[in-house]
Amino acid sequence: MQTRFPILFPSVLLVMCVVAIAGVLWGTAQISWSDRLAILLHHDDAPRGLSLIVWQWRVPRVIAVALIGAGLALAGALMQTALRNPMADPYLMGLSSGASAAAVAAIIWLPDYLTDFFGVPLIAFSGAALAFLMTLGLSQRRGQAMDPLIVILAGVAVSLLFQSLTAFFLYVGDPHATRNAIGWLMGTAAGTEWAEVPLLAAAVTVIALLCIVRSNALDATLLGEERAQALGIRTNRIRMMIFFATVVLTGLAVSVAGIVGFVGLIVPHMARLLIGARHRVLLPMAMALGATVLIAVDLLCRTLLAPEELPLGVLLALFAAPPFILILRGLRRVA
């Protein structure tokens, strides 16, 4: 399957570029083709208001969505490797639930001046980090190797705890604030600014390069605890590296676009079907596919019901359901 990579990977990158250009050219604002060309080429006669829409709203949004899709797909592939579980995803360790509870609490309970000072993204990232530390604390056993099953169970317990808190905050909160919180929980890239792009780009790039450099160790992790250790791989260290990379990628994604589900679960499987499970080719392919999928879904969210905008979570769930069912059927046949 790896022989397909030199053909498929550039093809996916080309599709990603085409979809990204479409994401920049189309949106809720109607812009003529002549104005689009003038704006993209920075002509002096380009309409100022429309140039602002394209360069200050659409371009950073498309870039951020691409980075979020790539980051979540990378985190999902890493989590499935670390836990040797095909149904693992970046949110498995309670990250989304922790971020949700923190963001909803901030939107509903904190005074506006505090929310403006700290920002909902930073608060959500803090909630994700807290959930991760709680899951890690419940999973660790002194003097023993980390058990993937214990990690999964601890993540489920932490998720249930924070989901309960989120439901409580929504139930007792002010209806207007609750509506804003629900909109954030469903995921949206609306309002993305250039200032949010550099940190996201740096994190995705650095973590991806480090993981590709350690791709042989990641491959060995899939062989199981004993075989990996016999090859000289410190599986606990690899898992900790993966967990910290996941919390950074997922926390940043949540802080920019809210809860964006299914990308980290489905996209790595799509990449494996195309080019196999070797991490040196799997990770770049998963990232390219994740970026392409999320740019396309975000474009549909902006245009299907224009001028209204659909939440990312709604369309992602619709598109993810068929491949998710196919994966479950495949697992059942294997079992």
> Per residue in 136-149, is it b (16+ CB within 10 Å) or e — as a string?
bebbeeeeeebebe
- Mean pLDDT, rounded, for 102-108: 86
User: What are the tens digits of pLDDT across the range 6-64?
Assistant: 889 999 999 999 999 999 888 777 777 777 777 777 777 777 777 887 888 899 999 99
61-75, 91-105, 318-332: which is most confident: 61-75
**Mean pLDDT value across residues 102-127:** 81
Q: What is the pLDDT of residue 314?
A: 81
Domains and CATH numbers, the chain: 2-334 (1.10.3470.10)
pLDDT on residue 294: 95
Please spell the DSSP secondary structure of 18-72, one letter per residue: HHHHHHHH-SSS---HHHHHHHHTT-TTS-HHHHHIIIIIIHHHHHHHHHHHHHH
Rg, C-alpha atoms of the chain? 21
- The pLDDT of 276-289, averaged and rounded, is 93
Give the pLDDT confidence score for residue 335 in this predicted structure. Answer: 47
pLDDT average, residue stretch 231-253: 85
Lowest mean pLDDT of 108-112, 131-135, 229-233, 247-251, name the range.
Answer: 229-233
Least confident of 17-21, 83-87, 228-232: 228-232
How many CB atoms lie under 10 A from the CB of residue 198?
9
What's residue 75's pLDDT? 94
Which residue in this structure is represented by tokens 């396309």? 296
Higher pLDDT, 43 or 216: 216
Task: Count helices and strands (H / E) in the chain.
Answer: 16, 0
Mean pLDDT, the chain, whole residue set: 84
Comparing CA positions, the residue from 281, 296, 326, 256 lying closest to residue 77 is 281
> 69-78, 130-139, 283-292: which range is least confident on average?
130-139
Query: Mean per-residue pLDDT for 206-211?
Result: 96
List Cβ<8 Å contacts ≥24 apart for 329-333.
331/86, 331/87
For residue 76, give Cα distances in angstroms to 68, 200, 229. 12, 17, 23
Q: CA 242 to CA 246: how far, in whole Å?
A: 6
- Banded pLDDT at 85 (limits 50, 70, 90): confident
Give the integer Cα–Cα distance in Å for 234 and 247. Answer: 20
Give pLDDT tens digits for 126-176.
888 899 889 888 887 766 667 778 888 888 899 999 989 998 988 888 777
Tokens 């294997």 belong to 334
Question: Given this model, what pLDDT does residue 320 score?
Answer: 73
Among residues of the chain, what percentage have pLDDT more than 70? 94
pLDDT grade, residue 332 (50/70/90)? low
Residue 332's CB is within 10 A of a number of other CB atoms, namely 8
